[in-house]
Each structure stands twice: as C-alpha cells, then as structure tokens.
Amino acid sequence: MPVVSVGAGGMGRAWLEVLEASPDAELVGLVDLDLDAARRAAADLGRPDLPLGRDAVELARATGARAVVDVTVPAAHHPVTTAALAAGLPVLGEKPAAATLAQALSLVAAAEVTGELFMVSQSRRWNPQVSLLRDAVALLGGAGTLTTEFFRAPRFGGFREEMEHPLLVDMAIHAFDTARHVLGDEPAAVWCTTSNPPWSWYRGDASAAAVVITGGGARYSYTGSWCAPGEETSWNGRWTASCAHGSVRWDGDDEPVVAVAEDAPAEVRAGVDALLAGPRSPFDGIAGALAVFCAALRTGGSPSGEVHENAMSLAVVEAAVASAGSGQVVDLDELLEGARAEAVAAERDERVRERLRAWPGVRAALAAPAPA
Ligand SMILES: NC(=O)c1ccc[n+]([C@@H]2O[C@H](COP(=O)([O-])OP(=O)(O)OC[C@H]3O[C@@H](n4cnc5c(N)ncnc54)[C@H](O)[C@@H]3O)[C@@H](O)[C@H]2O)c1
C-alpha cells in the first residue's frame, strides 16, 4: 500500500520508522507545512530523496499514494482528513480523531459520504497485554468495576503546560478508550472533578478524578495526575478489574495477573488457563494499527478504531471536561446531540451536513457499521 505520511514532528518521526519497516505499506512521500522539518525527518530516516510536499492530496496524486497517514497536530486532523477522504484516499490518523467531538462527528459523516475508511490509531488498543486484560475480564463474567490509577511527573515544556486540561485532553483519552475496549460496553454518563496541586508546573488542571457509568451499569473510575513526583505508575497506568468470577490486575508494563475466585465454575478456570497458556495478540502499538489498517483495506472490513467506533472515546474526554466545569454529571446522549448541532452549524460540505442531519440519533449512527 503506497502511502504519504503527514506531519514530521515527534510522533510523525516514530510513524516514519514504522512505515519504513512495514511489510504492508510503502512510504512514498512526506508532507509537512514546515518543509525544513520534513527534509530533516526524511534525511534522518535515511531517505533524503523522499518526495516532500505541503499538501497531502497533491503529493498523493504526484506519487501514486493510495492512503494517507495523518500525524499532524489535533487542530489539523479535521482539514487534512476531510481533504483526503474527499479525494478518495483512506486515512489512518493519530489520536484524537479531531480537536473537538463536533469535528470528529463531521469526519464520521465524511467517511460515510465518501465510502472511504478513516481509522484512528489509538495505540494502546494494539497492546497484547490489553488484549489479554480484555479477554480475561470477559471470561470472568465481565467487570462491574474497573479502575485506572495514573501518576507521573513529566516535564514536557511546550503546549501541554499551557493547556486548560492537559491530563484529560492529551493523556486520559488513551485510558478512556482502553476502558471502553476492556468493558465491551459504552458510556452513558460521566462525572469528573479536576484540580491543579499547589506544586504543579502546569498552567491548567494536571490532576483529575472521573467516574464513567456505562449503559450496562458498570463503573469505570480514573484517577490521575501529571504532576505526581515519587513512585510513578507506568505510562499505561495501573488497572484493576473486579468481575463476577475473579479479578484482573495490570501494572501497565507486565502481563496482567488474573485471580480466579475459589468458587468459580470449572469452565471459567479452564477458560482462563487456556487463555494464559495460549498465543498473544500479534499486533502491537502503532505498527499493529498500521497492519490492521492495511488488512482492512485489503478485505473491506471495519477495523477496531474505525472513526464510528472511536469517536465515543473523545466524547468521554469532552464529557469529563464539561463535568469538571459544571460540577454536574454529564449525560453522553445530550453531549453527542449538542456536538452534532455544532457540527451541522460549522459544516461547509453540503453532503456531509445532510448526512449529519439525517442520522436518527448520534449514538445509533456511531453504533452502526460504516457503510462500505
Ligand atoms: N499515540 C501516542 O502515544 C502519541 C504520542 C504523542 C503524540 N501523539 C499524537 O500524534 C499527533 C502529533 O503529535 P506530535 O507530538 O508529533 O506533534 P508535533 O507538534 O511534534 O508535530 C506535528 C507536525 O505537524 C505539522 N503540521 C501541523 N499542521 C499541519 C498541516 N495542516 N499539514 C501538514 N503538517 C502539519 C507541524 O508542522 C508539525 O511538524 C497528535 O495528534 C498527538 O496527539 C500520539
């Protein structure tokens, strides 16, 4: 699959390495508004002659690329992806789907109207330990309570230290997306409170506690801080799932630890034993996302991370931010419909605007498989 990659920043460089090593994709061009940044990244990759450009669609036409990998800043995700889909190019984009939920819904509708695949690379989904956690939770009868603790003290400098909600918006989306994946259930309501400890080096709130109530009645709680010196958790956080027939703990780095209840049915214990003895998921990180994206283009299937399915993770982030502001529990359906109204008002493409309007409900539209 010949692809152009867009964005030659920190994460863009990581994608270039993965694209170069991939047996499924061929890197045929690199795009950045900053051509010097693109030139430096191509040279550092050992591809000084790689075709460069400032526009993904133009460079794709010139190089024969048939797909786009979008690793630009979140504010550019909507324009870059919209243009690519309209030009008949499927897109694999970095998280978040877009800078706002309204823009993400516009991209969902654009994917429907164009019939092109837009998959969001939410890299933790492709962690084999997350797959094990999810499978173990299912075997134990599903989780009633799932928790994530995230405590780290990075000093990034730059935009994160100026954001209003750096932890929720830039980091917690990974945990929220993983929680949806592990629970296999969608959020119905979110409550959140945020704070900025007196010793924080962030302008915005670097600590947060959020509770997500799912449609099936499970409770997911997230507590975290980005200014937490001392004993730090892994970058994935520390997870505990409490299930009908046992529990699963995951430190975010090593294999999850499954504890089957003593009185669990024999078939549950046998299932867990088989899972632990069995093979691990072959997909990992962004290389896994790329392999799944290319396979979906070959087979026409709808992969995990496809934008219909992914948008709800951004909805949880926006719900958490709204709840932190109001002090109220935020109903996800109300939030989704408000974002649709915002998307309709801002939409410039008539076909996309009509599609947004035609959805009977946003939740139902997101749950429906993307039309081929
Ligand atoms: N999955 C992860 O673990 C992970 C980690 C870091 C970053 N990310 C995500 O990756 C994305 C990029 O992050 P980063 O840290 O590399 O940012 P960055 O600021 O280092 O780089 C972004 C690049 O995009 C370019 N750009 C901006 N608008 C553009 C446009 N319209 N067209 C072409 N190029 C444009 C910029 O010039 C810059 O070179 C973000 O969405 C971020 O959330 C994901």
**Domain of 251: which CATH number?**
3.30.360.10
Residue 60 CB coordination number (10 Å): 26
Which pLDDT band holds residue 30 (cuts at 50, 70, 90)? Answer: very high
* The pLDDT value given to residue 283: 80
Span from the CA of 75 to the centroid of ligand 1 (angstroms) = 9
Give percent helix, percent strand, percent coil of the chain, each to the nearest 5.
Answer: 45, 20, 35
Task: For ligand 1, say whether the CB of 37 is within 6 Å of any of its atoms.
Answer: yes
Buried b (16+ CB within 10 A) or exposed e, 76-88: bbbebbbbbbbee
State whether the Cα torsion 291-372-80-203 is positive or negative: negative
Confirm whether 26 is domain-assigned. no
Kindly report the CA angle at 84 between 53 and 293, in degrees rounded to 5?
105
* The pLDDT value given to residue 358: 97
* The pLDDT value given to residue 345: 98
Q: Is the pLDDT of residue 145 over 90?
A: yes
3-state secondary structure of 152: coil
Which pLDDT band holds residue 328 (cuts at 50, 70, 90)? Answer: very high
Kindly report the CA angle at 283 between 291 and 215, in degrees rounded to 5?
105
Task: For ligand 1, say whether the CB of 6 is within 6 Å of any of its atoms.
Answer: yes
Confirm whether 356 is domain-assigned. no
pLDDT, the chain, mean: 96
Span from the CA of 4 to the centroid of ligand 1 (angstroms) = 15
* The pLDDT value given to residue 369: 64
203-218 confidence digits (pLDDT tens):
999 999 999 999 999 9
Question: What does the pLDDT average to over 24-33?
Answer: 98
Q: Is the pLDDT of residue 371 over 80?
A: no
The residue whose C-alpha atom lies closest to atom 43 belonging to ligand 1 is: 95
Task: For ligand 1, say whether the CB of 34 is within 6 Å of any of its atoms.
Answer: yes
* The pLDDT value given to residue 246: 98
Report the first-to-last Cα separation within the chain, whole angstroms.
Answer: 19
Question: What does the pLDDT average to over 137-165?
Answer: 94
Percent of the chain with pLDDT over 70: 99
Kind plus residue range of the DSSP H or E element containing 350: helix 350-358
Q: Which of 197, 217, 151, 188 is nearest to 312 (CA)?
A: 188
93 touches 70 (CB < 8 A): yes
Alpha helices by DSSP H, listed for 87-150, are: 101-114, 128-139
Confirm whether 3 is domain-assigned. no
What count of residues does the chain have? 372
Confirm whether 326 is domain-assigned. no
Task: For ligand 1, say whether the CB of 166 is within 6 Å of any of its atoms.
Answer: no
Q: Copy the structure tokens of residue 168.
A: 């929720």
Confirm whether 77 is domain-assigned. no
The residue whose C-alpha atom lies closest to atom 25 belonging to ligand 1 is: 7
The residue whose C-alpha atom lies closest to atom 4 belonging to ligand 1 is: 11
Cα–Cα distance list, 34 to 38, 46, 100, 180, 234 (Å): 7, 19, 24, 36, 33
Confirm whether 208 is domain-assigned. yes
Helix 101-114 to helix 74-86 angle (10° resolution) is 10
**Top-confidence residue, 16 or 162:** 16
Q: Is the pLDDT of residue 42 over 50?
A: yes
Confirm whether 30 is domain-assigned. no
Q: How far apart are CA 207 and CA 199, in angstroms?
A: 12
Sheet containing strand 219-225, edge to edge, reads: 257-260, 246-250, 238-243, 143-151, 219-225, 207-214, 187-195, 330-331
Domain boundaries, position 196: 128-277
75-106 confidence digits (pLDDT tens):
999 999 999 999 999 999 999 999 999 999 99
Which pLDDT band holds residue 372 (cuts at 50, 70, 90)? Answer: very low
Task: For ligand 1, say whether the CB of 12 is within 6 Å of any of its atoms.
Answer: yes
Candidate ranges 153-167, 275-289, 339-353; pick with highest mean pLDDT:
339-353
| Residue appearing with tokens 């993983």 | 178
Cα–Cα distance list, 2 to 5, 14, 16, 19 (Å): 10, 18, 13, 10
Confirm whether 51 is domain-assigned. no
Residue 308 Cα to chain centre, angstroms:
12
Q: How far apart are CA 250 and CA 129, in angstroms?
A: 8
Which pLDDT band holds residue 370 (cuts at 50, 70, 90)? Answer: low
The residue whose C-alpha atom lies closest to atom 34 belonging to ligand 1 is: 32
Span from the CA of 148 to the centroid of ligand 1 (angstroms) = 26
247 touches 241 (CB < 8 A): yes
Residue 98 CB coordination number (10 Å): 26
Task: For ligand 1, say whether the CB of 73 is within 6 Å of any of its atoms.
Answer: yes
Number of domains in the chain: 1
216-268 confidence digits (pLDDT tens):
999 999 999 999 999 999 999 999 999 999 999 999 999 999 999 999 999 99
Question: What does the pLDDT average to over 46-72?
Answer: 98
Span from the CA of 7 to the centroid of ligand 1 (angstroms) = 6
Q: By CB neighbour count within 10 A (0-12 exposed, 13-18 middle, 19+ buried), where does 347 fall? A: buried
Question: What does the pLDDT average to over 273-298?
Answer: 93
